[in-house]
Structure 1
Amino acid sequence: MAKQISELKLGILGGGQLGRMLIQEAINYNLTTLVLDPDPDAPCKHIANKFECGSITDFDTVYNFGKKADIITIEIEKVNIEALEALEKEGKLVFPQSRVIRLIQDKGVQKQFFKENDIPTAPFQLVSSKNDLSNGNFSFPYILKQRKDGYDGKGVMKINNLADVDHAFESPSLIEELIDFDKEIAVIVARNANGDMKTFPMVEMEFNAEANLVEFLISPSTYPEDLQDKADKIALNIASALNITGILAVEMFVTRDGDILVNELAPRPHNSGHQTIEGNYVSQFEQHLRAIFNLPLGDTRSINNAIMINLLGEKGHDGLARYENLEKVMGIDGVYIHLYGKKYTKPFRKMGHVTIVDQNREKAIEKARYVQHTLKVVS
């Protein structure tokens, strides 16, 4: 007789806020959670059944950790792939699969995957080093992205002219045509081992220009239904082509001409799905658990208009975190606070998020703008 979900041990590589919110859902299923993270004070430390402080990029550490779990998942892509491959060969279940993580770890390989599978994306070219930029004949301006280790806005820069090339990345990178886009959007898709798939409604995102992080998210989108359907189909096609098990966030651009271009993928719960905790019938975190344990996928429909705001550490503040005006925003109907358990703040560090729900979309946005300008993370 197959084991029930509550009899299995879930190993999570990475103990940050995504792991924390995943564990909060896992508790509802009596799941035993094991977490590996290099930070001895990681957000997951006090809520995981077992927390281990160690490197998620070291082969032996990841391999030995994975041996203790029945299913292994990630909350960040920068993990030791070779260890996960070895665990898979020994029969351990790793979701998303190691081959998917390997593909997504390298933005150049990811772009080639888009090209080979006819997935619409911005024109690009791979470069070995910044010498290729000096010797090349590329039209300015363009976007330069490091192929590996870029996250949360890091590893991306705009190259406007030859002078900017002097400050370009030395490591293997890709150049991408600068897209004149109307808005950034995202669709999160889940796929279980049976091949069942479901998408969450498309969301619209605003980014912090300085930190290049999602700062404001609106769900559901008000773009025309045919455009939303197109984005939905792109996400489903990618999940199917990857043959992924788990959650996949597909970040896209809507161009001024109304086309959709895929920007990047994240094979895990993602910032563009935090609002699903209060805004949808099933959250992205529960859906990820359902997918990796091969359970029926939940109802992804929106319950209400939901706005998500990232709480980022204020500029000029580095030290013990304080949440200024927390009581003020908690007095507003439909405001839900999520703090990530991080003791120290620094500029642009993700310290939490707030979701605002309201039956009236404009009222939800109005409340969210107030929260955005009122609630501050300082030291």
Structure 2
Amino acid sequence: MAKQISDLKLGILGGGQLGRMLIQQGLNYNLTTHVLEPDAEAPCKDIASKFTVGSLTDYDTVYNFGKDVDIITIEIEKVNTEALEALERDGKIVYPQPRVINLIKDKGVQKQFFVENDIPTAPFKLVSSKNDLLNAPFNFPFILKQRKDGYDGHGVMKINSEADIERAFEEPSLIEQLIDFEKEVAVIVARNEDGETSTFPMVDMEFNSEANLVEFLVSPSEFSLEIQEKGKEIAIKIAKILNITGILAVEMFVTKDGQLLVNELAPRPHNSGHQSIEGNYTSQYEQHLRSIFNLPLGNTDLRGSAVMINLLGEKEHTGLANYEGLNNVLKLSGANVHLYGKKYTKPFRKMGHITVVDNDRSKAIEKANYIKNNFKITSK
């Protein structure tokens, strides 16, 4: 008799909030979860079936961790893919596949993939050091991105003039033409081993200008059905070309003239899909599990308009976290609070999120703005 999902052990590389929400969904399937994470106090530590403290980039640590589970997945791209490739050769199931992780974790390789496959993206050039910026093919200002290890706004900077070049990254990077875009949007696509694909409705994103983090997300998008359908087609095209198994988040710019340009990919559950827990019939976390265990994909239709607010640590506060205004938030109909189990806060640290669901989009946005202005994470 074929094994059931509850008979298998899922290994998750990374123990942050994405892993935490994946485990929370996995509990509904009686799933056994093993987590490898370098931070002993990470959000997954109290809810994983087994929590191992160790490096995600050390070959032996990742390889030995993977030997004890049936399926391996990630919640962060910065992992030792050589170990994952060895585990794959040993017969372990690794989703997303190591070759996909390798492509996506290098933004330069990712951009070249877009060009080679006729996927629309902003013009760019690869650079090896900041001295190369003196010969940039773009007028100031332009965007500089580290090719590897950037996350949550880190590893990205705007070069406004030649004076900014002195403080630019020394690491291999890419420069990108600054796009005068209307808004940044995202489409999450899922693909299982059988090749079945499904997308979540496009969402609109607003960023914190200081931290360069998604601060506010509205589902569904306000853009035309034509633009939304085009975004869906692009996401499915990328998933099929990659032959990925699992979730893939596709972040895109909508230009002032209505064109879509792909910005970045994430081969895992993503910040742009948190609202799906309450806002869609199937969440991105359940869909990822369905994908990697080769189960039928779920219904991604909307339950209503959903607005997600990232809860970031206040700018001037570092220390034990204090949640100000929680009682008032809990009085709001349709407000769903998710705290990530992080004991300490620091400026702009992701501490949780709140999703507001309402049949009336304007009311959902109104409640979200109230939360944004009245819920603060400070230090005690």
What TM-score bracket applies, with the shorter chain setting the length?
over 0.9
Matched, 1:67 2:67: yes
CA contact (8 A) 2:138 2:177 kept: no
CA distance in 1, matches of 2:102, 2:222: 35
Q: Any idea what SS the aligned residue of 1:169 has?
A: coil
**1:274 maps to what in 2?**
274
Tell me the matched-pair count: 379
Q: Cα offset for 1:136?
A: 4.4
**1:323 maps to what in 2?**
323
**2:38 maps to what in 1?**
38
CA distance in 2, matches of 1:316, 1:12: 33
CA contact (8 A) 2:11 2:34 kept: yes
**2:210 maps to what in 1?**
210
Task: List per-residue Cα deviations over 1:142-166 (Å, max 9, x = no partner).
Answer: 1000000001000000111111111
CA distance in 1, matches of 2:316, 2:263: 31
Q: Any idea what SS the aligned residue of 2:257 has?
A: coil
Q: Match for 1:348: what amino acid?
A: F
CA distance in 2, matches of 1:136, 1:302: 44
Q: Any idea what SS the aligned residue of 2:261 has?
A: strand
Q: Cα offset for 1:137?
A: 4.9
Q: Any idea what SS the aligned residue of 2:233 has?
A: helix
**2:142 maps to what in 1?**
142
**2:154 maps to what in 1?**
154
Q: Cα offset for 1:138?
A: 3.7
**1:178 maps to what in 2?**
178
CA contact (8 A) 2:306 2:357 kept: yes
Q: Match for 1:170: what amino acid?
A: E
Query: Which blocks of at least 5 consecutive residues in structure 1 are unaligned?
Result: none
Matched, 1:199 2:199: yes
CA distance in 1, matches of 2:2, 2:111: 39
Task: List per-residue Cα deviations over 1:115-143 (Å, max 9, x = no partner).
Answer: 00000000000011111112445421110
**1:166 maps to what in 2?**
166
**2:351 maps to what in 1?**
351
**2:249 maps to what in 1?**
249
CA distance in 1, matches of 2:39, 2:336: 27
1:3-22 to 2 correspondences below 5 Å: 3-22=3-22
Q: Any idea what SS the aligned residue of 1:244 has?
A: coil
Q: Match for 2:98: what amino acid?
A: S
Deviating above 3 A after TM superposition, structure 1's stretches of 4 or more consecutive aligned residues are 135-138
Give the direction of change, closer, same or farther, for the CA distance of 1:327–1:5 in structure 2 (3 Å limit): same
CA contact (8 A) 2:321 2:344 kept: yes
**1:363 maps to what in 2?**
363
CA contact (8 A) 2:81 2:102 kept: yes
Q: Match for 1:302: what amino acid?
A: L
CA distance in 2, matches of 1:157, 1:260: 22
Q: Any idea what SS the aligned residue of 1:321 has?
A: strand
CA distance in 1, matches of 2:2, 2:78: 32
Matched, 1:132 2:132: yes
CA distance in 2, matches of 1:186, 1:136: 29
CA distance in 2, matches of 1:136, 1:248: 31
TM-score, normalized by length of structure 1?
0.99
Query: Which blocks of at least 5 consecutive residues in structure 2 are unaligned?
Result: none
Matched, 1:190 2:204: no
1:252-263 to 2 correspondences below 5 Å: 252-263=252-263
Matched, 1:54 2:61: no
Q: Any idea what SS the aligned residue of 1:205 has?
A: strand
Q: Cα offset for 1:106?
A: 0.3
CA distance in 2, matches of 1:227, 1:44: 37
Q: Cα offset for 1:287?
A: 0.2
Q: Match for 2:45: what amino acid?
A: K
Task: List per-residue Cα deviations over 1:153-184 (Å, max 9, x = no partner).
Answer: 00000111111111111010001000000000
Q: Any idea what SS the aligned residue of 1:333 has?
A: coil
CA contact (8 A) 2:275 2:308 kept: yes
Q: Cα offset for 1:68?
A: 0.6
CA distance in 2, matches of 1:82, 1:136: 34
CA distance in 2, matches of 1:131, 1:145: 15
CA distance in 1, matches of 2:295, 2:147: 34
CA distance in 2, matches of 1:154, 1:288: 26
Q: Any idea what SS the aligned residue of 1:166 has?
A: helix
**1:29 maps to what in 2?**
29
**1:88 maps to what in 2?**
88
CA contact (8 A) 2:185 2:252 kept: yes
Q: Any idea what SS the aligned residue of 2:167 has?
A: coil
Q: Cα offset for 1:238?
A: 0.4
Q: Any idea what SS the aligned residue of 1:39 has?
A: coil
CA contact (8 A) 2:128 2:171 kept: yes
Task: List per-residue Cα deviations over 1:278-314 (Å, max 9, x = no partner).
Answer: 0000000000000000000000011100000000000
Q: Cα offset for 1:223?
A: 1.0
